[in-house]
Amino acid sequence: MRASLALVLFSVSAAALAADAGEIKVVQGAAHIERGSVRLPAKVGMPVQEADRVVTGADGTVGITFADNSLLSIGPGSSFAIDRYVFDSTTYAGKFDSTLSKGTLAVVSGKMVKQSPEAMRVRTPSAIMGVRGTDFVVRVTDH
């Protein structure tokens, strides 16, 4: 029993360490992170993880630096989800899948894309973008 509890604690802390995909570097106006059922106000220095959703209010923006030096920023009135983020800091192999459901997104791709083209994909409700080492912007509107 004690051994299995220790094992559980160990796996939880290992998962928490592995799960940091990036860190919030810029916040302006209203913005929050949805993590499971928890809603956290976005703050500079806050880590972001796989499965987090970043939501900005009408005046809100958020900028994030990821572990592989990918830079992402989310404009006002946006909803952006980190679906999958894996990065090996030794081999630079990784996978970065995300979804912009609405609003605007700016991207500067990082090291994993240099290592393997198309390691990064951004989805919108009707498209999938494969990224080969570049800066780009995406906007999703209702009409």
Partner 1 sequence: MPVLVVAVMVALAIITATPVETVTVLPSADGHVGTVVVQRGETQQVLHEAYATSRSGQTEVTRLSAQDVQSTYGRALHALPALPATFLLYFTTGTDELTAESRLELDKVLAAMRARPLPDVLVIGHTDTVGDADGNDRLSAQRAETVKGFLVGIGIPAERIRTAGRGERELLVPTADNVDEPRNRRVEINVR
3-state secondary structure of 62: strand
Residue 127 in the binding site for partner 1 (CB under 8 A): yes
Burial label, 94 (beta-carbon count in 10 A; 0-12, 13-18, 19+)? buried
Candidates 48, 81, 119, 140: give the one binding partner 1 (CB under 8 A). 140
Q: Virtual CA dihedral for 110, 113, 119, 125, nearest 10 degrees?
A: 60
Q: Chain centroid to CA 91: how far?
A: 20
State the binding string over 62-101 for partner 1 (x if CB under 8 A, else -): xxxx---x-xxxxxx-x----------xxxx-------xx
**Pattern 10-49, partner 1, x by CB under 8 A:** -------------x-xx-x---------------xx----
Using the minimum distance from each CB to partner 1, give the nearer residue, 33 or 74.
74
Measured distance CA(42)–CA(34) in Å, rounded:
10
Residues that bind partner 1 (CB under 8 A): 23, 25-26, 28, 44-45, 61-65, 69, 71-76, 78, 89-92, 100-102, 104-106, 108-109, 118, 124-143
